């Protein structure tokens, strides 16, 4: 019998596939059968993954020796290194590959489950406590394996978990999942924003599914109507196919607006820009005829590595982005790790232990606290383009002095690199204090970008990723509207451009308002470009503004 449920928010689309469940700390583990001819290759993959995991642990140990306060972690890593070399681990996993003809990830998962259970059953308290170490070692090996594979199987996979990070969403997309469902999360969480940019269908805040579903169960995931159907009947499958066909027809009709002018009916130009997380998204944006990249989040480059990317590595990455977009303008936002714990552990574990990174050392605060990090990123961005095509956006600004400090570094680097063209430095208006002093910030900024997602969150004291208070996340709140208007007034008084950035820019119920405010541009997830362009071409500004 089928089971139905609702969700808080979604990343559009309608898909049907087989469920693969992840526990709260599990990695995405593909499970599929292999032929006998593939046994040797799978065993080699396992040996290579152990070698790589050992190298990474050794690098971590070398780094820790330079920090006296962190040396207490060395014995733990030494234990993990020893466990990786245990012949029983290798032999047991390879036995599963041989006897069950399954892929190495699945074999390792089953082997680790055996080991964990064996330790849990021991009477000795100390040995019982080593269960956590065994789990960590298994995850290290799986990380090496799953970073280099795809989700496989005869039926498309829908991944179901308690929660997903933005990097999890990217991994799902790259590994071939057709959808995801998270039990936790709110309407404007970062993971959901990334999914929308990729076009990966998903639901957030879907209570009840995780407990009722089993691996392999069929699931219809309808993110257009924020609902799901577990173990659907034949009639429900037929209805799904009709809905999917109707949605495909609607999306085909929208393609007529690709590469058409981003102008209102009465001729007001309102450029539609793309918010980009990683380089592959650029092709999606170009397909829709985007007018530029209004926000390139640089965090993902940092999160992909165990070490901070060098200046040359960053330069090559930014150059690749600039070359990919052709002659279109690109705005790089400086590093803003936000509340991402992995990024904080990587960048700040030596001298920062703030309990609430959303209100702590993030954005420009962290960059000024880590001047070498700031200088390296600015040099890389300025080296990425020989023209004025590239702009720089400063996140989480709350004072004039922060903008002045960043501009001082920019000017120093310009002199070092002998850059003669003007460098456009913008201020993100995403906290109430920035909007309240917008007239002062306009005097030290070349442009404004209103980060609507965070502005709503910080103005209303609502965690946008928390499903329990998501009903309070309301961009139409009078306080939010007033702060937006203050920033617009300040920018226009100083004659600097102002862009609306984030999910609000993609909300077509606001397009008329932005048109009447004479906003300079809207920057949004790429897949919303055509919807907004269609709406824009239907509207007229209340006061005629021909450009």
**Cβ atoms of 515 and 547 closer than 8 Å:** no
The residue ranking higher by pLDDT, 437 or 110, is 437
Task: Give pLDDT tens digits for 48-85.
Answer: 999 998 988 888 777 667 655 455 567 777 888 888 88
- The top-level CATH class assigned to 3-21+156-252 is alpha beta
**Cβ atoms of 448 and 427 closer than 8 Å:** yes
* Integer Cα distance of 33 and 35 in angstroms: 7
With H, G, I as helix, E, B as strand and everything else as coil, classify residue 139: helix
User: What percentage of the chain carries pLDDT values higher than 90?
Assistant: 52
Residue 7 DSSP class:
-
Q: Which of 357, 431, 360 is nearest to 399 (CA)?
A: 431
**Cβ atoms of 514 and 262 closer than 8 Å:** no
Domain ranges of the chain: 3-21+156-252, 36-146, 271-508+517-525
Looking at residue 3, its pLDDT comes to: 92
Active site residues: 190, 501
CATH 1.10.274.10 fits 36-146, yes or no: yes
**Is residue 106 very low, low, confident or very high in pLDDT (cuts 50, 70, 90)?**
confident
| CA triple 397-402-403, angle to 5 deg | 85
Judging by DSSP bridges, how do beta strands 521-525 and 272-276 pair with one another?
Answer: parallel
Looking at residue 187, its pLDDT comes to: 64
Task: Give pLDDT tens digits for 256-285.
Answer: 999 999 999 999 999 999 999 878 789 889
- Which helix (H) or strand (E) covers residue 187, if one does? none
Distances (CA, A) of 249 to 246, 388, 513: 5, 40, 29
Looking at residue 344, its pLDDT comes to: 47
* Integer Cα distance of 433 and 436 in angstroms: 5
Task: Give pLDDT tens digits for 320-369.
Answer: 999 999 999 999 999 987 544 444 445 554 555 566 666 777 899 989 99
* Integer Cα distance of 290 and 24 in angstroms: 37
Looking at residue 186, its pLDDT comes to: 66
Mean confidence (pLDDT) of the chain: 86
Looking at residue 353, its pLDDT comes to: 58
Task: Note the CATH architecture for domain 271-508+517-525.
Answer: Alpha-Beta Barrel (3.20)
Please say if the pLDDT value at position 381 is more than 90: yes
Instruction: Give me the torsion for CA of 355, 360, 365, 366, rounded to 10°.
Output: 20
Please say if the pLDDT value at position 544 is more than 50: no
């Amino acid at each position: 019998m089928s089971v139905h449920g609702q969700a808080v928010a979604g990343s559009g689309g309608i898909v049907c596939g087989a469920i693969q469940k992840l526990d709260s700390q599990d990695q995405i583990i593909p499970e599929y059968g292999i032929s006998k001819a593939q046994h040797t290759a799978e065993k080699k993959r396992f040996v290579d993954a152990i070698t790589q995991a050992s190298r990474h642990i050794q690098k971590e140990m070398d780094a820790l020796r330079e920090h006296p306060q962190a040396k207490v972690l060395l014995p733990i890593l030494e234990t993990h290194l020893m466990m990786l070399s245990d012949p029983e681990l290798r032999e047991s996993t390879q036995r599963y590959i041989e006897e069950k003809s399954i892929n190495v990830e699945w074999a390792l998962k089953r082997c680790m489950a055996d080991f964990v259970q064996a330790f849990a059953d021991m009477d000795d308290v100390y040995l019982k406590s080593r269960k956590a170490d065994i789990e960590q070692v298994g995850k290290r090996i799986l990380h090496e394996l799953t970073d280099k594979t795809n989700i496989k199987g005869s039926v498309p996979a829908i991944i179901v978990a308690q929660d997903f990070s933005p990097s999890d969403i990217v991994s799902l997309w790259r590994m071939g999942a057709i959808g995801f469902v998270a039990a936790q999360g709110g309407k404007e969480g970062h993971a959901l924003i990334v999914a929308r940019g990729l076009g990966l269908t998903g639901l957030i805040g879907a209570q009840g599914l995780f407990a009722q579903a089993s691996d392999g169960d069929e699931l219809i995931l309808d993110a257009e109507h924020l609902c799901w159907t577990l173990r659907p009947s034949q009639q429900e499958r037929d209805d799904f196919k009709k809905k999917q066909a109707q949605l495909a027809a609607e999306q085909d009709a929208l393609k007529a607006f690709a590469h058409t002018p981003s102008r209102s009916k009465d001729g007001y130009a309102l450029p539609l820009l793309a918010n980009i997380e990683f380089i592959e998204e650029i092709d999606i944006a170009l397909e829709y005829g985007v007018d530029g990249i209004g926000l390139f989040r640089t965090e993902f480059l940092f999160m992909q590595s165990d070490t901070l990317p060098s200046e040359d590595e960053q330069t090559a990455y930014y150059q690749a982005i600039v070359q990919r977009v052709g002659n279109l303008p690109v705005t790089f936002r400086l590093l803003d790790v936000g509340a991402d714990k992995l990024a904080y552990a990587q960048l700040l574990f030596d001298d920062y232990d703030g309990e609430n990174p959303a209100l702590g050392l993030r954005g420009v605060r962290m960059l000024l606290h880590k001047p070498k990090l700031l200088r390296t990123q600015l040099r890389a961005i300025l080296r990425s383009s020989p023209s004025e095509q590239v702009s720089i956006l400063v996140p989480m600004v709350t004072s004039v002095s922060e903008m002045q400090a960043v501009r001082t570094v920019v000017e120093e680097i310009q002199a070092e690199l002998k850059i003669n063209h003007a460098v456009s430095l913008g201020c993100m208006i995403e906290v109430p204090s920035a909007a309240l002093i917008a007239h002062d910030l306009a005097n030290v900024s070349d442009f404004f970008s209103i980060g609507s997602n965070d502005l709503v969150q910080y103005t209303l004291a609502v965690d946008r990723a928390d499903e329990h208070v998501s009903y309070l996340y309301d961009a139409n709140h009078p306080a939010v509207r007033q702060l937006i208007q203050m920033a617009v007034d300040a920018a226009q008084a100083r004659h600097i451009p102002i862009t609306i950035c984030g999910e609000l820019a993609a909300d077509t119920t606001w397009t008329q308002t932005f048109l009447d405010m004479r906003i300079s541009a809207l920057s949004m997830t790429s897949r919303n470009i055509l919807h907004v362009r269609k709406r824009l071409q239907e509207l007229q500004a209340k006061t005629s503004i021909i450009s």
